[in-house]
Amino acid sequence: MNKYELALVVNAKIEDDARTAVVEKAKEYVARYGGAVSDVEEAGKKKLAYEIQKMSEGYYYFIHFDAEGNVPSQVESEIRIMDNVLRFLCVRADEA
């Protein structure tokens, strides 16, 4: 099992409940493909470096999980089509 970090930038113009639902859905995708979520870090609302879909701010979330090597690509394929996710990135975390 490898350690991964999934970074999500979520639409800042939606309600808190909808933002929470987006993060929960991402966690469900990780679990569906055999990953185990260890931590969810909310970095809060930040200004984007450039506008994405006519938005200048977004909420940042970092989901840490353990999974096999094929899981990140499967999770990314599901998140790619989610509404209210402006950007995402899944990287392998260092073994520190």
Q: What confidence tens digit (pLDDT) does each residue in 48-79 have?
A: 999 999 999 999 999 999 999 899 999 999 99
For the record, the structure tokens of 89 come out as 């990135």
What are the structural domain ranges in the chain?
A: 2-92
Q: Dump pLDDT digits (tens) for 23-51.
A: 999 999 999 999 999 999 999 999 999 99
pLDDT 10s digits, 81-92: 999 999 999 999
Q: Which fold has domain 2-92?
A: Alpha-Beta Plaits (3.30.70)
Residues with Cβ within 8 Å of 45's Cβ and at least 6 positions away in sequence, in order, are 12, 57, 58, 59, 60
